[in-house]
A = this chain, B = another copy of it.
Amino acid sequence: MHFAQPLALKSGAQLRDYSLVYETYGTLNTAKSNAVLVCHALNASHHVAGTYAGQDRSEGWWDNLVGPGKPLDTNRFFVIGVNNPGSCFGSTGPMHPHPDTGRPYGADFPVVTVEDWVDAQARLLDALGIQQLAAVLGGSLGGMQALSWSLRYPQRLRHCVAVATAPNLSAQNIAFNEVARRAIVTDPEFHGGHFYAHHTLPRRGLRVARMIGHITYLSDDAMEAKFGRSLKNGAPSYSTQDVEFEIESYLRHQGDKFSEYFDANTYLLITRALDYFDPAREHGGDLTAAFASAVCKFQLVSFTTDWRFAPARSREIVKALVDHKRDVSYAEIDAPHGHDAFLLDDPRYHGLLRAYFDKVAREFGHV
C-alpha cells in the first residue's frame, strides 16, 4: 500500500512517499473486531504464515503459530503481517530511491523508531478500515512494537501479547548491537552506506554481525547441547583460520547465508530502533509512569534461558502494569533454547498462546 502523506518520525525527520508491503490471513468479520496485527523483529517480514504457491521452503516466519487450527487460528482471526519501513523485504527501505535524488537512500534513509513503525502500522489499519484490533502480537523487537501500541493507541487494541521482550535494551544489549554495527560500517565495501552505487556489498561485516547475533539468540546450554566441543573432523588439525569446531562451522554458515540476503543499512536501522526504544525515558526512567496510558489487557511471556531479553526484563513490565492494576497475565516458560524459543513450538508456550487467543476469540463471539 502506497502512502502519499509523509510520515512524521520521532527524530524530527519525515518519510515521504513510502509503501508498506503486507499480507493478511483469514477473513475480517463484519464487525471488524477479529483483526490481529503481528509485528516482526530484526530478521523477519510481513510474511508471517503460510507458503507461496510453487515455492519450496517459503513458510512464514511464525507459521508454527499462525494458521488454520493453529494457536493464532486464522479460521477465527484476521491476521495482518506488515513489513516495517527501513526493512529490506519490500516496504520502503534504504535500497529504494530517495525521492529527491532518484538514487538509493543508502545511509541517508531516515532513522526509524519503534514508535514510527507503530504509527505506520496504524495508518495501514486506517486504510484497511480497522478501528480497533483484537490484539497486537510480537516477540523480541516485535514485542516492543506491541507494547508501544498499548501506549500510543490505547483505544485501538483490546489485547497486547508481548513475548521475549524488554522495556528497553540493557547496556550489554546495546554493546552487542554496536559491535555488529562497527563490523558493518568499517567494512571497506560499506562505502559509507552507499555501497549500492559501487555494485558491492559489505558481506564481511554482515557475516560478523550475524555471528554475534546468533550467539545471543541461543542459550549457553543450548549451544553446549547442540555443538559442545565437537570437532568438525574428529581430531584437531591445529589451525588458527580453518574450521576446527562444529560451532564455528555453524556460525560461519549462518553468517554466510545472512550476508547474501540482508541489507547492511537495514541492519543498522533496525538495531538502532532496538537501542532507542525506551518508553520510560520521557518519564524520567519511571516505567510505571510510562504505562499510565495503557488500558488493554496484557499477556507477557518470557523464557528462562533467554539471556538477551531475560525474564527479569518482562517482570519489570508486569510490575509497571500491576502498579496500575491493569489486567496482566505473565508466563515464564522453562525452555532451554534461549531467546530463539519465541520462534519455536514449545508445547507449553504454544498451549498458553492457544488458550489466550481462545479467550480473545470468545470476546468477539466466536465460541
Contacts and interface: CB of A to CB of B under 8 A. Distances in A.
B179 A229 contact: no
Contacts of A265: 240
Contacts of A84: none
Given A247-B175, A251-B178, A240 B107 contact: yes
Given A111-B240, A188-B188, A223 B179 contact: no
B223 A276 contact: no
A186 interface: yes
Given A188-B188, A269-B240, A182 B208 contact: yes
Interface string A152-174: 00000000000000001111101
A354 B84 CA distance: 59
Nearest to A170: B224
Contacts of A107: 240-241
Given A186-B204, A208-B186, A174 B229 contact: yes
B278 A229 contact: yes
A231 to B, nearest CB: 9
B229 A169 contact: yes
Give the contact-size bracket for chain A: 35 or more
Contacts of A251: 175, 178-179
With most chain B CB atoms within 10 A of its CB, the pick from A13, A185, A245, A269 is A245
Contact of A183 (B208, B214, B236): B208
A220 B272 contact: no
A11 interface: yes
A55 interface: no
Contacts of A218: 172
25 contacts: A107-B241, A111-B239, A168-B229, A169-B229, A171-B220, A171-B224, A171-B226, A171-B229, A172-B223, A174-B245, A175-B211, A175-B214, A175-B215, A175-B247, A178-B245, A178-B248, A182-B211, A182-B252, A182-B255, A187-B204, A188-B188, A238-B276, A239-B272, A240-B269, A240-B272
Give the top 8 A-B pairs by smallest Cβ distance, nearest first. Answer: A11-B238, A240-B268, A186-B204, A111-B238, A171-B223, A171-B227, A179-B211, A178-B248
